Structure formats: structure tokens, C-alpha cells
Amino acid sequence: MEKRIYHSAISGIKIALFIIICCRWFMVHAQDLKTGSISYLTLNNGLSNNVVLGADIKELQAANLSYLDGDSHIDADSCLKYAYNDPNVLALGDSLNLDMVGIRTYKDKIVNIYLFFKMTDAYKVLKQFISMYGQFTDRPDNYSDIYNWNSSLLSLSLRYQYKADLGVAIFTCKRLQNEIEADKQRAISRGYSQALSFNY
């Protein structure tokens, strides 16, 4: 009987230690995912739970989608562009509303998310992004208003010019962007090979 109690106690201690170690690991790594960090940008992977990079466009409600500028043709990268008209997505923060959300897809997967906003809200958008994703990771030119956040999986670029009426923030899925470039290179190589075969 004492051996059974001893083994039960040892099992209980092992389980308790496992739980403590797991909780400790979670606490250490949960801080990496807090707002105000680039990890938070990667975790969100886009605008909201509904609109995320790499997701299938068919997962969004078709009633909220329309072709951007009425253009149903693919662009030079074989992508389609949509306007996403969901009022819940247009609210970016306290008293901060977007004018429009655009989505660019490649093979029905979301490669870019565009957030269009009024120039009068440009500073609010920058402030909101810094509070959510931390300090921008680079700024190509100190005299232009371009702010970039880069992680291994995605990038966010905030761009505005005071001469324009609208500013834009662009989320980009790096994996899909690389796939687009690779497919373009393969198509160029194929076209070059075919052109050579016609000459001989």
C-alpha cells in the first residue's frame, strides 16, 4: 500500500512539474506576442480574423466582394483585385475608419491587403500601427512618408503623400509574393525556350 501511495505521489509530482514548466514556457513566449511588437503583426497575419494573408478568397462572404474599380481582368502578375465592403472591417480603431479595403489575390489566395484612408487620418494610422506592431523596422527615405514593418512571413508598408487625397497601408504575404516572382521567371524561361525552338 505504501508503494502505491509513493508511486501515486511521484506521478502527481511529475504532472505538477510538467504543468508548471508548460505555464512558464507559455508566459515567456506570450510576451513575444503582445501588442506593440513585430510578432503581433505576424500573429495577426493581416487586417482581422476575417481578412488574413494566404487565406482563400472564397472564405470571405461573396456579397461583400466586388472587383476593384470594376476591373475583372488579371494584372501583370496574374492577380485579381477586389474591394471588400464589410463595415466591421472598416473600423481600424477608436474614431479611426478606413475609406476602403482592397484585396489582391493570386490563384484565389490573398497576397495583399490594402487599407485606404483619408490623409487627415494619416498620423492616426501611423500611431495605431506603432501601438499594435511596434516601431517600424525601416524607413527608406527620411523625407518621404513611407514606414515599413517586416517580419519573416509578411510585410506592412504605410505610405502617404500630402498631395494625394488618400493614404494606403499594404500588407503583403512574402510566401505568395515569392511564388508570383518564381512563376513569372518560369513563364519567361518557357517563352524564351519556345522562341528558340521556333528559330531552329
pLDDT tens string 58-67: 999 999 999 9
Fold of 34-199: Protein Transport Mog1p; Chain A (3.40.1000)
Q: Residue 186: which pLDDT band, with cuts at 50, 70 and 90?
A: confident
Residue 2 has pLDDT above 90, yes or no: no
Alpha-carbon 39 to chain mean position:
12
Q: Residue 5: which pLDDT band, with cuts at 50, 70 and 90?
A: low
pLDDT: is 42 or 34 the higher one?
Answer: 42
C-alpha cell at 176: 505568395
Please report, for residues 4, 7, 9, 10, 182, the alpha-carbon distance to residue 18 in angstroms, rounded to integers and kept in the order given.
21, 16, 14, 12, 45
CB 172 within 8 A of CB 112: yes
Alpha-carbon 180 to chain mean position:
16
Mean pLDDT to the nearest integer, 93-97: 82
Nearest CA to 81 out of 168, 149, 183 is that of: 168
CB 57 within 8 A of CB 82: yes
Mean pLDDT to the nearest integer, 76-87: 93
pLDDT, residue 87, reads: 85
pLDDT, residue 13, reads: 64
Residue 9 has pLDDT above 90, yes or no: no
pLDDT, residue 84, reads: 94
Q: Which residue has the cell 493614404?
A: 167
Q: Which residues make beta-bridge pairs with 82?
A: 67, 103
Query: Residue 98 and residue 138: Cα distance in Å, rounded?
Result: 24
Domain-wise residue ranges, the chain: 2-32, 34-199
User: What is the CA angle 93-48-75, rounded to 5?
Assistant: 110
Query: Residue 134 and residue 136: Cα distance in Å, rounded?
Result: 6
Residue 19 has pLDDT above 60, yes or no: no
pLDDT: is 157 or 12 the higher one?
Answer: 157
- Residue 194 gets which letter from DSSP? H
Mean pLDDT to the nearest integer, 142-171: 89
N- to C-terminal Cα separation, the chain: 91
Query: Residue 79 and residue 74: Cα distance in Å, rounded?
Result: 5
CB 79 within 8 A of CB 106: yes
